[in-house]
Structure 1
Amino acid sequence: MAHMANLAFDASTWEIYGSLLNGGTLICIDAMTVLDPEALLRAFGRHDVRTALITPTLFRQYTLECPALISTLEMLCVGGEALHPRDWESAEHLLTGKLINCYGPTENACISTTFLLTKEERCVNGVPIGRAISNSGAYVMDSRMRLVPLGVIGELVVTGDGLARGYTDPEQNTDRFVSIVVAGQAVKAYRTGDCVRYRPTDGQLETFGRIDGQVKIRGQRIELGEIEHVLRSHESVSDAVAVLQHHDGGEVQLAGFITVDEAAATRPLHSLTSKPLRQQFLQKVQQQLHDKLQAQLPLYMIPQFITVLDVMPINQNGKVDRRVLEQQSQTQTTRREPLQQPISDAERTMQKLWARVLNIEPESIGLDDSFFRLGGDSIAAMKLVGKAREVGLQLAVADVFRQPKLVDLSSSGSYTSYTAEEIPAFSLLGNDIGAAKIREEVAIGCNIDMSLVEDIYPCSPLQEGLISLTSKRAGDYIMQSVLELRDDIDADTLRAAWEHVARSTAILRTRIVHHSKLGLLQAVVAEEIRWEEGEELDEYLVKDKSVSMGLGDSLTRYAIIKGGREGKRWLVWTIHHTLYDGWSIPRIMDAVTETYNGAALEKPPNYHAFIKYLGQLDHDATTAYWQTALADCEAPPFPPLPLAVQQPTADTTLELQCPALPKIPSDITKSTLIRAAWAIVSRHHIGSEDVVFGATVTGRNAPVAGIEAMIGPTIATVPVRICVHRDQTVSAFLAGIQRQATEMIPYEQTGLQRISKVTAGARHACSFQTLLVVQPASEEIKKDGDLGEWRSRSDLQDFTTYGLVIQCTLARTAMSITASFDRRIIKNWLVQSLLNQLSFVMRQLARADSQVKVADIDTLTPEDKGKIWAWNRETPAAMERCIHDLFAEQAGARPDAPAICAWDGEMTYGELDELSAKLAGHLVEIGVKPDDIVPLCFEKSLWTIVAMLAVLKAGGAFLLLDPCLPRKRLQLMCNRVASTLALSSHDCVPVIQSLIETGSAIRTVIPITRATILQIPQHASSTTTVRPTDTAYVIFTSGSTGAPKGCRIEHRSACSAILGHGCRVGMHANTRTLQFGSYAFAGSLVEILLTLAHGGCVCVPSEDERIGGLAPAISRMRVNWAFLTSTVLDLLRPEAVPSLTTLCVGGEPIQISQVAEWAGQVHLRQTYGSSEMSGIISSERLTSSSMTRDVGKAGTGIYWIVDPSDHHRLVPIGAIGEL
């Protein structure tokens, strides 16, 4: 073991004790030799060094300077810094031994986790640090020391025997040495401060910089590791470091330092820059590097300067010396091209507005910059419009989307006197009815004095819909929020703050009533809050939930609950969704907090201004828009609503935490990206390119003064129709969806009830069952506040009557995708899969370049792919047997057992074997040989089965002909197989003769009866050798997709199906099978061949019984196993066929009513198969609760479900595809 680490570096303890405590030899190497790769190589050779621990910086330099040094070691451990994937890739071919990436803090005895690098490893997100070593633990946790989900970034917390007792200064222990719960036990742990996540594919730990790597510059929080990650991802950059540099006068700037692949070996630290190298780099990658930074990071995270170094400075521990870089002068740098600054007053005003909304410096915004590329989104656009109004500039959100560049947007606005309009009370009611009469009727509806009614105006479409739904199902659309009060909060002061906010906010004093002539109206009532009290929180919540909130009722309630063993106090706020939306809630909370703290409350804009805007909409233009947008819409709803479910009830919630979406290198918003991703995912689950789902929009895009500060429900639900064209580029696809959203803004407040009345297509579109909601994290209730901790008692499912609601909550560092759904409509596993697919597709769309097409976006997640490969990892072995050999085994073992019970006679296995063998010998004599195809034309008869076995024993292959088929079809089938010999019953000879007369290749027809077989000379015998690969039979498909096709089935294929499915479908020696299927139907071969191979008896009714007396025939022949279509099954009743114990249904889907009738009476199975797959492929036992679509798993083959448009691509689990 080489001992190279500085004794002040914890790695030295690992070198010393790791070697000596395991019986190794420690080779001490001086510092100057460590810095001289050639000298180090000689030292390694001289002392036979086989193991070493070095930093990634030294690893990189040794690889460049002296590759042989890497090749000499049996085990090389790298640690102390993050190992870059490019360093691993450049050294991969040099390694002859093991390379292990080591991670660990001093506080946990140097090494906590390890990762063995193999040649198959492709480190997409950096080289993993692996898993915890023996007697240690490694956990990814959030700030409250709770485990985070797989794939979500959190803080690495380590435990184990190597943990330090603590710091020498006990006061420093509190923040770092903590207690966590592992398997129900409290365990001492150390918080490393490193950001990591479990790699979703295998659970290996990946690093993402340090939590304390976050710095602030101009008020913005920056993660230096994110910047370094982007810089290192450039193909020409070998290493990168980002630092903050503090200059005289207090100026702070962000600087980046990089080395390139051609960097020289270690140089004196005073020679940090190389002008020729810098010039070479600038010529090669300057613009590429700038574009990459701008595409992936917000503007405030882009370094002002990027300096090219020959080599990174290294401290005495072999790590990059950041302090040297922080002090390095900026004499040789690159930065983004000089910005073209605004010239006109309008441009300068717009620049300042952007800076305020995006929280960046005005000087960093140029005329050609895009609002969205600088970090803006739809919410920021709405705020921009509000700020513009404050300075008298009239601007619409749609303008920002249409003209996102500063130079263009500056010219689109106009200056007006834009102040909030004073709207007199009762002025929105119209003049048809006197305000006094309306006021009187409303007061009666509210059961209050008329003088308390301050204002009355119409309801929005959303309010009308929500109050109507609540009247149908009490308790829906009501939120209970609970605030656990801090100990120092004064309850009386808090009550006073709430009362003050309610007096200042009209919507919190609003009720909804029904007027006899005007319909639903909302009334602002001058009333004070009536506070409830209680001692048990849960008891109050149940009681409160049972109190109605309907027409005329107060739509808000407040309570202070005092109780609990620990003396806790809670404030419970109950409010109906007709009074708020996600945008309003945090503003109400902030207003209460500010009022409690003594701040003056600014009265918010009145909600009636929004109602006035709705009343002025152009209804003709609105109707025309929705007629066009939803014309001829027939997109299948997803998830489909079962007949048994009249009204969905969301009773389950699933959540997926995932990293934030990468910055989109275009003007596309994240909301657009999410809509596009869901459309692509939905396409696979409905099997249609025409996709419709619902979307909740903020409504804050409306041109109403102060709408961004207004409290009240401006949200709206709209049907979104997207055509997913596979050949369209992703950029065009996204642009079209964003354009659609922009064009929809003037019409988004129409309301679903009104939209559905426009056309039949619109009515269909409004019946969607998936609602998509996108909101920034700022719209959620803040969990921790000055007053205490909030927790909502009403999750997403309380606010929906849809089968599935997906809510995407966006934040800068993470994204939460929550699904609320009805388990009767869609299963948990499918919802979880949908969330994974949505996240997977979103990230592909965000990273797609201009040439990527929609067809290139993969919806099959790694998780789904892993499951599919696990299911299909083993291909069932083929049965290398012949069909007649399976029969011979049964005949030899049970010669006296019944083989056939037919209307025209019976046979034992011994008789059937003897007669078929005799006929086979004759066929061989007249020239039948392997793979010759012999048509068999019989009515329902035992002699059909005799002929089948005879042809097989002779080595030929049979083709069953149903004499009831049209002559042209029979002629086509015989001509396709070019047969010269046919076997027939006596009655069907004329059928074959007619084929011969019309040009068939058949030249000889042999009628088969007992007499003709017995006349065959005794010396005739079959001596043909039949192989499993020879053709056993030919069966023609139905021709539903064109001309019928003849399928050649080999013996081994048929035997694999026979033996693979027999036991599964209940075949055994006592089986008595109904031979019902037409000879043109593959089911007839299932009935005959499966039965005989398992020693059962084939029961053959006459044609007359088959058509008009099936139930009596089943009873007479004691049939206990049948294979029928659902159409035929409708003709039978369980009580009429008491002998039947096993019923297989196939050929067409079984009906729900049939499952209900038969599942409790017989062993009921639904089968699936095709002629091309030897009949049955799979089957599934059905019970009364089974899904009628279930056909089970593949029995003798493998199921692959592929995209019908691309058979080389698997579809996700749960999606519709081609089998």
Structure 2
Amino acid sequence: MTSLNTKSGSTPVMPLLLRSDDASHTDTLVEEVSHSFGLGRDRIDNILPSTAFQQDVLDCAGSDKQRSIGHVAYEISNDIDVSKLAAAWKDTIRRTPALRTFAFTSSSGDTYQVILKDSFVFSWMFCTSVDQKDAVVQDEAVAAASGPRCNRFVLLDDPIAKKKLLVWTFSHALVDSLFQERILGRVLKAYKHGHDELSNRPYTPESSDPEDDGLSLTPTDGSKTPETGGIHPATQFWKECLSDLNASAFPHLTSPLVVPYPNAKSEHRMAFATPSQSTWPSIAVCRTALAILLSRYTHSQEALFGVVTEQQMLANGPTRTVVPFRVHCAYDQSLPGIISAVNANDDAIRQFADAGLRSIASTGEDGSAACGFQTVLLVTDGDTEQAARCEIHHKTGESELFMPCTNRALLLQCKMASDGVSIIARYDTSLIDSQQIARLLRQLGHLIQVLRVSQDTSMCVAELDMITKEDRAEIQNWNSILVPAQPNLIHKEMLKTASLSPNTAAICAWDGEWTYSELDNITSRLAALIKFSTPDQEHAILPI
């Protein structure tokens, strides 16, 4: 095994872990990194294989590298010494290899984590306009996407409003919100202790600080774990978990070439009628509710969607992953049975959630189909969820919680609290409209309420009333006026309307709509097909 830290008398910070121990391969890779970013070889501290999560983030971004770049903004109290704060950040980054890391794709297509010996970018500028923050965010995103220093910090000082704003730009492949919270805690320690003996000790997994027990500051090594019996345990698990998949993605893509982009946002808040504690965990309740709803929307006895899972709390990078989640919810299944299965499945997938979407998709046809999910669900605790409590940072912005699945059509976040649930949806308006999203959120909140307090152990899916009070009122409004009977044939009326108003909407549904002209064309083709298929029958009955 070869190390880059070969200076006499120096102790390697960590070993160089590559897919090959071939020294020539190591030298070639280091040379490629140096040439690509104009870095001297002595600036590179280590190179590790990328993790499956990082590969998924890069796949999600595709050719648009900025899609993998995020930012978070913090308001800084006026009594904070900015120079001291910058020094605290620099000290934390110096002792945290994960904050000196960037993702690199080699000429061979392999992805790596490159750790620099020094990677601190801190700028201080005066804010002269409201639009300056947006401009700074854009400029920093461009710099982070094109250069090796992904973690960048800009302090915007507004002398008129007497406010200071710290903008942290980072790569989603290396940082998520939970990771941020742990780092903020360390910055606070460095700010308080300055550069005394405590501050200068390197963070290690054996740290005596209770908050740092068991933490690893080295980025997670993406090397493959040994296979057992010729097949990787994660591969075996996902093959069995997704075997004979018979579920459809929601919403349906109009073409396999379509890449969704959630460009709109909607929110629904539902207060619980009774604040009693649920028998089941909030995650199991929300996932079951969504599964039943999607099975109705896709007319299937199975539901498929992506779920955000949180792994062991570490300080070596993102702790969230996204994996496909499959739920059997036939009409005759009992609700407690489904919730119990969902809860058990959650425990099982956590063991193999770090396999990555690319690896899961490669397990076979079922795995590939499962990774085509278009709805992603994240469940959080609304009672405890808040901005990270820190004496010097107050979060004013929100980080991306759905990486590496921001290229999906529907992203749902359920904030569960003791008195109600808040559901936030981000969605692609070209695939699902605002009215349908509003209805879906109401239905989801209604199902969460029902499942949360249900005490009937014998109730099955078919007995579940999914109609919300808003939907019921709309139905009653539609039928409030009694339409007089007409002696005309319905198909003749449709042909008449198709002739007079061909572009008027005839059918509206969540997955699209047809005008009268389109309906006339399609039904004519269907009639011709039926006549061709049954030439000897005067009347034909076809199952639909």
Work out which of the residue numbers 532, 538, 544 in structure 1 matches 2:137: 544
Work out which of the residue numbers 442, 453, 467 in structure 2 matches 1:860: 467
Structure 2: gaps of 5 or more residues: 1-11, 205-211, 518-543
Structure 1 range deviating more: 765-774 or 434-443: 434-443
CA distance in 2, matches of 1:779, 1:465: 29
Aligned residue for 1:425?
15
1:665 offset after TM fit, Å?
5.7
Relative distance call for 1:664 and 1:730 in structure 2 (3 A) is farther
Q: Residue 728 of structure 1: SS of its match in structure 2?
A: coil
1:758 offset after TM fit, Å?
1.9
Relative distance call for 1:872 and 1:753 in structure 2 (3 A) is same
- Amino acid corresponding to residue 870 of structure 1 in structure 2: N
1:1191 offset after TM fit, Å?
6.7
Relative distance call for 1:747 and 1:789 in structure 2 (3 A) is closer
Work out which of the residue numbers 565, 568, 573 in structure 1 matches 2:163: 568
1:724 offset after TM fit, Å?
0.7
1:94-125 per-position Cα deviation (integer Å, ceiling 9, x unaligned): xxxxxxxxxxxxxxxxxxxxxxxxxxxxxxxx
Q: How many residues end up aligned between the 2 structures?
A: 481
Aligned residue for 1:307?
none
Q: Residue 396 of structure 2: SS of its match in structure 1?
A: strand
Relative distance call for 1:780 and 1:459 in structure 2 (3 A) is farther
Q: Residue 168 of structure 2: SS of its match in structure 1?
A: strand
1:692 offset after TM fit, Å?
0.7
Would you say the 8 A contact 2:250–2:375 is kept in 1? yes
Aligned residue for 1:652?
264
Aligned residue for 1:515?
106
Question: TM-score, normalised to structure 1's length?
Answer: 0.37
Relative distance call for 1:877 and 1:856 in structure 2 (3 A) is same
CA distance in 2, matches of 1:829, 1:477: 30
- Amino acid corresponding to residue 803 of structure 1 in structure 2: A
1:1163 equivalent to 2:488? Answer no
Work out which of the residue numbers 225, 229, 232 in structure 2 matches 1:615: 225
Aligned residue for 1:506?
97
For 1:386-785, list aligned pairs within 5 A: 424-434=14-24, 435-517=26-108, 519-536=110-127, 538-546=131-139, 547-550=142-145, 553-563=148-158, 565-598=160-193, 600=198, 603=204, 605-606=215-216, 608=218, 610-611=220-221, 615-616=225-226, 619-643=231-255, 646-659=258-271, 666=279, 668-700=280-312, 708-777=313-382, 782=387, 785=390
1:331-388 per-position Cα deviation (integer Å, ceiling 9, x unaligned): xxxxxxxxxxxxxxxxxxxxxxxxxxxxxxxxxxxxxxxxxxxxxxxxxxxxxxxxxx
- Amino acid corresponding to residue 432 of structure 1 in structure 2: D
For 1:1114-1153, list aligned pairs within 5 A: 1123=495, 1144=498
For 1:649-1048, list aligned pairs within 5 A: 649-659=261-271, 666=279, 668-700=280-312, 708-777=313-382, 782=387, 785-792=390-397, 800-812=406-418, 814-849=420-455, 850-878=457-485
- Amino acid corresponding to residue 584 of structure 1 in structure 2: F
CA distance in 1, matches of 2:382, 2:278: 22
Structure 1 range deviating more: 622-631 or 766-775: 622-631
- Amino acid corresponding to residue 623 of structure 1 in structure 2: T
Larger Rg: 1 or 2? 1
Would you say the 8 A contact 2:308–2:320 is kept in 1? yes
Relative distance call for 1:1190 and 1:760 in structure 2 (3 A) is farther
Relative distance call for 1:823 and 1:564 in structure 2 (3 A) is farther
1:645 offset after TM fit, Å?
7.5
CA distance in 1, matches of 2:319, 2:188: 23
1:569-615 per-position Cα deviation (integer Å, ceiling 9, x unaligned): 21111111111223212222222233323385655533547426863
- Amino acid corresponding to residue 149 of structure 2 in structure 1: S
Q: Residue 1189 of structure 1: SS of its match in structure 2?
A: strand
Q: Residue 476 of structure 1: SS of its match in structure 2?
A: helix
Relative distance call for 1:840 and 1:614 in structure 2 (3 A) is farther
1:759 offset after TM fit, Å?
1.9
1:1115-1142 per-position Cα deviation (integer Å, ceiling 9, x unaligned): xxxxxxx93xxxxxxxxxxxxxxxxxx7
CA distance in 2, matches of 1:514, 1:811: 42
Structure 1: gaps of 5 or more residues: 1-421, 701-707, 879-1052, 1059-1081, 1091-1121, 1124-1141, 1146-1161, 1168-1178, 1193-1218
Would you say the 8 A contact 1:1165–1:1180 is kept in 2? no
Relative distance call for 1:681 and 1:591 in structure 2 (3 A) is same
CA distance in 1, matches of 2:432, 2:145: 31
Relative distance call for 1:433 and 1:834 in structure 2 (3 A) is farther
1:776-811 per-position Cα deviation (integer Å, ceiling 9, x unaligned): 358866177422532116666897111000012344
Relative distance call for 1:726 and 1:1180 in structure 2 (3 A) is closer
1:224-265 per-position Cα deviation (integer Å, ceiling 9, x unaligned): xxxxxxxxxxxxxxxxxxxxxxxxxxxxxxxxxxxxxxxxxx
Q: CA RMSD in A?
A: 3.4
- Amino acid corresponding to residue 652 of structure 1 in structure 2: A
CA distance in 2, matches of 1:833, 1:545: 35
CA distance in 1, matches of 2:394, 2:419: 22
CA distance in 2, matches of 1:444, 1:614: 28
- Amino acid corresponding to residue 497 of structure 1 in structure 2: A
Q: Residue 578 of structure 1: SS of its match in structure 2?
A: coil
CA distance in 1, matches of 2:132, 2:146: 26
CA distance in 2, matches of 1:755, 1:797: 18
1:616 offset after TM fit, Å?
4.4
For 1:1154-1193, list aligned pairs within 5 A: 1163-1164=501-502, 1179=506, 1187-1189=512-514
Relative distance call for 1:559 and 1:424 in structure 2 (3 A) is closer
CA distance in 2, matches of 1:714, 1:487: 32
CA distance in 2, matches of 1:792, 1:446: 30
Would you say the 8 A contact 2:309–2:321 is kept in 1? yes
For 1:1051-1066, list aligned pairs within 5 A: 1053-1054=486-487, 1057=488
Would you say the 8 A contact 2:98–2:219 is kept in 1? no
Q: Residue 579 of structure 1: SS of its match in structure 2?
A: coil
Would you say the 8 A contact 2:183–2:315 is kept in 1? no
CA distance in 2, matches of 1:856, 1:670: 22
CA distance in 2, matches of 1:485, 1:608: 29
- Amino acid corresponding to residue 328 of structure 2 in structure 1: C
1:543 offset after TM fit, Å?
4.2
For 1:172-183, list aligned pairs within 5 A: none
Structure 1 range deviating more: 455-464 or 735-744: 735-744
CA distance in 1, matches of 2:286, 2:365: 28
- Amino acid corresponding to residue 768 of structure 1 in structure 2: F
Relative distance call for 1:487 and 1:548 in structure 2 (3 A) is closer
1:141-181 per-position Cα deviation (integer Å, ceiling 9, x unaligned): xxxxxxxxxxxxxxxxxxxxxxxxxxxxxxxxxxxxxxxxx
Structure 1 range deviating more: 689-698 or 804-813: 804-813
- Greater relative CO, 1 or 2 (CA 8 Å, sep 6+): 2
Would you say the 8 A contact 1:630–1:721 is kept in 2? yes
For 1:278-357, list aligned pairs within 5 A: none
Would you say the 8 A contact 1:511–1:551 is kept in 2? no
Relative distance call for 1:423 and 1:674 in structure 2 (3 A) is farther
CA distance in 2, matches of 1:424, 1:802: 37
Would you say the 8 A contact 2:268–2:424 is kept in 1? yes
1:696 offset after TM fit, Å?
1.5
